[in-house]
Structure 1
């Protein structure tokens, strides 16, 4: 079984939700591979946070990070699992047919998929949430429900091959649950 894990993100992806899984996967012996719509320039990540004078979150520029592969070139057979960080990137990535193809293929093959924050927008657009329990940023709960999912306000929800969380402050429990599922899946396929 391959030890490569695909991370789909893009401009506006949340820095902590991209780089924390990236480093946790490396620490666990996996090779994370960043897929974006473009590889000719680094992806511009962002930092979302809350301030007392705003009704919603604020956004500041975060790190720039190179993409390893264009989403259009991704062959899901080359990867053991998929991570979909949040931020604003999922808002436009959910309209990319290659992203939806990749997500559907991972789901059909029952490979582990982790999504957090706005990442479940992509799961909803791919049509894989029907009947599934799913966490995510509270503002995407209507989208999860509209896609037939059952929204849960939780730091880590595992349902079948899906592991979802609310946001970057759930990174620890989210990645712990995802790595447990990834290891269980690897053991079952040996």
Structure 2
């Protein structure tokens, strides 16, 4: 079975982890969750409620990471998924996370990123000359990373598919699955 790596951590957005996880399983790929440590992770639910200037955050599901990023050999995986939430704020600073991301871009392998996930792409130095979506508040980070920000629900630029947030899961991951079938078809 072809494996797809999902970079997640404490306070990753629940819907941005589980939707890709289950869609990958449905397609016949094996999703593998990597984090800073192999431990139980606490995900969150971000919601947009009236009266607030930004999203609210509530506890989501807990889930076990399958592998620590230090132990990841990215060549063992056909694609990469980077959910949002608050986890990308600290994951982006980890050298192993950057190593993993750089591998997938160097190999021109499929990469999906949503919400705050492009923070990791920008810090990893892979956005130069690209077009990327993401949560609107991370647009300056995307642009500082050398990319053009486009606030779309499924922005495809070569091997990269990005979106704004969990509200875009269907179009975003549909575009990613199409790319995955083309570039890493199941045997």
TM-score, length-scaled by structure 2? 0.97
Residues 165-184 of structure 1: pairs in structure 2 closer than 5 A: 165-184=163-182
Structure 2 distance, partners of 1:186, 1:164, is: 18
Aligned-partner SS, 1:183: helix
Runs of 4+ in 1 over 2 A off after TM superposition: none
How many Å apart are 1:54 and its aligned residue?
Answer: 1.3
Root mean square deviation, CA, Å? 1.3
Structure 2 distance, partners of 1:147, 1:186, is: 27
Residue of structure 1 in register with 2:40 after alignment? 42
Structure 1 distance, partners of 2:96, 2:70, is: 5
Q: 2:153 aligns with which of 152, 155, 161?
A: 155
Gap regions ≥5 residues in structure 1:
none
Residue of structure 2 in register with 1:25 after alignment? 24
TM-score, length-scaled by structure 1? 0.96
Q: 1:90 aligns with which of 88, 91, 102?
A: 88
Residue of structure 1 in register with 2:102 after alignment? 104
Residue of structure 2 in register with 1:117 after alignment? 115
Q: 2:136 aligns with which of 119, 125, 138?
A: 138
How many Å apart are 1:52 and its aligned residue?
Answer: 1.4
How many Å apart are 1:51 and its aligned residue?
Answer: 1.6
Aligned length: 187
Gap regions ≥5 residues in structure 2:
none
Aligned-partner SS, 1:170: helix
Structure 1 distance, partners of 2:184, 2:95, is: 28
